[in-house]
Every structure is written in C-alpha cells, then in structure tokens.
Structure 1
Amino acid sequence: MKIFKIAISPCPNDIFIFGPWLLGLTHDLKNFHSKFVFKDVEELNNSAFKQQFDLIKVSAITGLKLTSKYQILQSGGAFGIQDGPKLVSLPNTLPQHIKTIAVPGLSTTAYHLLKASWAQPFKPVPMLFSEIPKAITQKTVDAGLLIHETALIYLQKGFKLLLDLGTWWKKNTNGLPLPLGVILLHKKYLHIQKEVESKIQESLDIAYLKTQEIKPLLRTFAQEMEEETLNKHIKAYVNQYSKKIQSDGEKALIKLKNIAGWDIGE
C-alpha cells in the first residue's frame, strides 16, 4: 500500500480538523496509508516549496505562489471571520520607536499583510511563532506579530495591541474572510482530489461529533493549555470556510494576492 505523506501544523485548528483522520476515527484513503507529520507554519511553507509532501497545510500567500505544482483544496483551510494576527508590544513602547518586529516567517500570510498595513519601515526578525512573546518580553525586538492561539490572549500576557490585522482586513475588503492558511494537494494526485476533500470534510464532521475523543491530542500539541483558549482558537479558525472555501473564500484569496502586492508567479 502506498504511503500518502501529509504535513500539517500542530495548532488547534489543524488538529481539530485532521484529528479524527489521524486517530483512525474515519477510514483512510482508498489504496493509501496516510502518514502525518507536524511542522511549524514556516517549515510547512519551506517544505511545500521543495514539494516534500503529498498533502500540506501552508500559509495562504504561499499556496497562491505554488499553484503550478499544487492544487488549493476547497476544504481544511483556515479563514478568519473576526480574528486575525495581531501586532503587539510592551505597554510603554511607542509606535514611532518600533524598528524591529518579530514575525512567524517571511513566507507567512501574516507577515505579508503586516508589510501592506504597517506604515513605518521595520526590520522583520523571523522566529518560531511560539518564541515571539518571549522575544517581546525580553526586549529582543520592539514588537511582535502574534498568530495562532497566542494572538487571542495577548492581554493576558501583558501586551499592548498596535494593529489587529483581522480588523484591518475586514475594513479593507468589505468584510471578506481572512485567508490565513490553505491545504495543498500535489498535482500528481489530482485524480483523487474529490476523495481527499471529502475525507477532510468527513474528518471535520466527526471532530464536531466526537470532540472529547480528540481533546487529548489537542492538549498534546497546544502552546496554551487552558481549555478556554483552545476552544476560542477552534471557534476563531474552524468555520464554514474550513468545510468549503466557497465563493467568498475564493474572492478573499484574489484580494489577498492584490493587497499583498506580491509577485505570485514562480
């Protein structure tokens, strides 16, 4: 039986969506044995550029760049409706004094949106998203761009909000969902695209029905262990666009390409 290589992030929304598939709560793909690997968002982006996996979660902006090699799937992605990445600093930091900003990777949607929205010039300092709060606290950087669950609890960490990219996006797109991450299928597997999309949708349906069975897996990978934080993260980024991107999601991806002002061609 052929191995089907899948790479996703350990963030709660990915674990929630793919957890039932990973745990065997749904049947595997026909004639394949699926093998899951977990990587940080920027590691996933780099792996996609190298075509190391058959199915892979990437930043939406990276997915748009790789359409000659991969197909963006209708299911499994992360679209924010109200929430998004947040630029924060220590309370006494003045915006005009911000010169260095910790970012979760130079290929992330969050970073490209920050470049489009933050008027002042700055030096990006790439690092693991989980290390950004510490870098801010230790004053290694002047500010940090928070993603995943840490963006939802910045006040609890004592940070001041400088820019909410979810709010900024909503104002600049007439309320379109914010495309943060998408699922890519390598084009050598286009013949099973519908089956893969259906499997992701089935896994998500089971996750809602058997949430308690995947909670231990969620806690294993979570950066923030509080139950309320995990639930807030899942609620923020697992929604109708995770089941199917729909026309609004497609429009949002086009808008992202335009707003980022980035050369999508390879």
Structure 2
Amino acid sequence: MRTLQIGHSPDADDLFMYYAIAFGWVNHSNLSFKNSALDIQTLNEKALEGVLDISAISFGVYPLVVLEQSLLRTGVSFGNGYGPKLIKKKGKNLKKNFKVALSGAHTTNAMLFRIAYPEARIIYKNFLEIENAVLNGEVDAGVLIHESILQYDESLEVEREIWEIWQELNQQDLPLPLGGMCIRRSLPLSVAITCEQMLTKAVKVALENKSLLSKMLQERNLIRVDSKKLETYLNLYANEDSITLSQTQLKAINTLFKIGYDHKIYSQILEVEDCLIPLEYEEFRNS
C-alpha cells in the first residue's frame, strides 16, 4: 500500500470534495492518502517547496510551480458572478495607499487585487483573522474569502467584488478561477492518473450523497457554518462544475495566466492544457 500526503484547506468546499475518501467511500487496493487541513497560503507555500504529493492550491500560484507540479482536472472552485470581497467599515473612504489585509501573497484574489490597487499597502493574515483586522482598525480594508463571504459584521460593507476586477481584466465574461489541485511530477505517471481518478470519483460521490456527507461533516465539527450556509456555500464552490475542468474553465485559467504575464507577475505564458496529466499514457499502456 502506497500512502501519499495530500493537503486541502479547512473550508467547506475542500472538505466536502475530499471526505468521500476520508470516510472510505472511495478507496484503492494499492493507494491511500494521509490528509492535512491547512490554510490556502500555507498550501501554496508547501506547493512552492514541493512538500506534499498532492495539494489544493490557488490557480494564481500555479505558474510558479509548473516545473514541479501538474494540475489535476478535478476538485476545482470557480466564482461565477461571485467570489472574494473587498470589505471596509461602512462610510469609510479609502485612499489610494489604503492598508489592506489579504489571505496570502500567492492567492488568485491577491494577484487580481494587486493589479487593481497597485498603491495599496498590503499585509497578509490568516483568512479567519481578516474581518477582525478591519473591525479593530488594524487595516482599512480586507479581502474576505471562503465562508467569510456569506456573512460578516453589519458595520462592514463591500467596497468592491474581486469578481468585478476579474471581469474588467478578462473582458470575456469568464468564470473566476480560484482554487484547484496539483500533484508532484516526480510521482510515476500511472500513480498520478490513479490519484486523479480517485479524487474525481470522490467529488462525484460527494455530490451524489450531498445531504448525508454534509450532515457527517457537521456532526464531526469539521465545518464552520450552519447547515443553511453550508448548502449555500457548496452550491457556489462545490458543484457539478467541480468534477472536471470544462473548456470554458480551461479558457478562464489560460486567461488568468495571460493577465499575470501581461502584468509581469509571471515570466512566461502557460497553456493549461500542457500542464495537465497526459491521460493518453494509460491508453498507450493498455493498448
């Protein structure tokens, strides 16, 4: 039995898409996973360091790890008319150099934010600490992610949706690529293909058993929101579009990479199709 280290965030969509494996609903005779729940910036940093075999990441960090990591087609989260929110205290006017808290230097929302607000003074905090940093005046504004976008203190208001920035930059009404998964290129290709198949099946099984899985996650105190908010959040970020990348989603990721290159964030333009596990290997192997 080969055991691989897999990292995912503690937010509801990642837990939901993975836990069919943790609960034993999806398994393999020769392969198992040891999972760790870490905040998204820590996961991005571990991907840069090559620590984990498989990891949830921000699409925004992927061009920096392309030589060591392949992208998986499954376990993806996109915003479609929604996404992270730049919030501030109600009535506050933000100066050009306002101080802002972001969830990590390599997140997709941080990349888009820096393009839109080049003069802002950025600090990075765990995403769970951002709302309080705005409330106590440590920062002028903050970008909320994950379940934090569903409800926040009534004294706060949305200054701008990251979705709006994305739409202005892409000009094609594409979904916003937020989170995906990557796998170490050093793993045998047959193992990588099996991992992608298992993780894809886990998302399918989760969606087929949504009510039961959601209940089990809540009973074990793995979820930070109540059942109503969980349903809302999963509808946004863990849905049929999370099972495998569509052509529209691939186009959106390519557009994100091109925007990053045009703004000198990345040193090269990537085509996401070249970054995926080559599934034709399995066909050749079995032919």
Same fold (TM over 0.5): yes
The aligned residue for residue 235 of structure 2 is: 235
- 8 Å Cα contact 2:101/2:139 also seen in 1: yes
Moved more, 167-176 or 240-249: 167-176
Shift in Å, 1:99:
1.6
SS in structure 2 of the partner of residue 3 of structure 1: strand
Moved more, 54-63 or 204-213: 204-213
Query: What pairs up with 1:139-154 in 2 under 5 angstroms?
Result: 139-154=137-152
- 8 Å Cα contact 1:16/1:218 also seen in 2: no
The aligned residue for residue 123 of structure 2 is: 125
Query: What pairs up with 1:58-73 in 2 under 5 angstroms?
Result: 58-73=57-72
2:79, 2:218 → 1: CA distance? 20
TM-score after normalising by structure 1: 0.91
Moved more, 125-134 or 228-237: 228-237
* Corresponding position: 1:263 with 2:260: no
SS in structure 2 of the partner of residue 221 of structure 1: coil
Shift in Å, 1:32:
1.8
* Corresponding position: 1:167 with 2:170: no
Deviation string 1:77-121 (CA, Å, 9 cap, x unpaired) is 1111121111000103112276210100111111111011236x1
The aligned residue for residue 38 of structure 1 is: 37
Gapped regions of structure 1 (runs ≥ 5): none
- 8 Å Cα contact 1:18/1:200 also seen in 2: yes
2:161, 2:13 → 1: CA distance? 20
Structure 1 residues 118, 152: closer, same or farther in 2, change over 3 A?
Answer: farther
2:138, 2:56 → 1: CA distance? 30
SS in structure 1 of the partner of residue 101 of structure 2: strand
Deviation string 1:40-97 (CA, Å, 9 cap, x unpaired) is 0000011111111111001111122211111001111111112111100010311227
1:212, 1:83 → 2: CA distance? 24
State the structure with more CA Rg: 2
Query: What pairs up with 1:2-13 in 2 under 5 angstroms?
Result: 2-13=2-13
- 8 Å Cα contact 2:94/2:140 also seen in 1: no
Gapped regions of structure 2 (runs ≥ 5): 269-287
Q: How many residues in Structure 1 have an aligned counterpart in Structure 2?
A: 261
Question: Amino acid of the residue matched to residue 223 of structure 2?
Answer: A
Shift in Å, 1:132:
0.3
Structure 1 residues 14, 212: closer, same or farther in 2, change over 3 A?
Answer: same
- 8 Å Cα contact 1:179/1:249 also seen in 2: yes
- 8 Å Cα contact 1:257/1:264 also seen in 2: no
Deviation string 1:177-215 (CA, Å, 9 cap, x unpaired) is 111111001112232333222212211121122223322
SS in structure 1 of the partner of residue 173 of structure 2: coil
Question: Amino acid of the residue matched to residue 146 of structure 1?
Answer: L
SS in structure 1 of the partner of residue 182 of structure 2: strand
1:82, 1:127 → 2: CA distance? 25
- 8 Å Cα contact 2:169/2:259 also seen in 1: no
Structure 1 residues 157, 55: closer, same or farther in 2, change over 3 A?
Answer: farther
Structure 1 residues 218, 65: closer, same or farther in 2, change over 3 A?
Answer: farther
**CA RMSD of the aligned region, Å?**
1.8
The aligned residue for residue 74 of structure 1 is: 73
Q: Which structure would you say has the larger RCO, counting Cα contacts within 8 Å and 6 or more residues apart? A: 1
SS in structure 2 of the partner of residue 230 of structure 1: helix
Aligned-residue sequence identity (percent) comes to 23
- 8 Å Cα contact 2:99/2:140 also seen in 1: yes
Structure 1 residues 3, 56: closer, same or farther in 2, change over 3 A?
Answer: same
- 8 Å Cα contact 1:75/1:197 also seen in 2: yes
SS in structure 1 of the partner of residue 132 of structure 2: helix
TM-score after normalising by structure 2: 0.85
2:109, 2:218 → 1: CA distance? 23
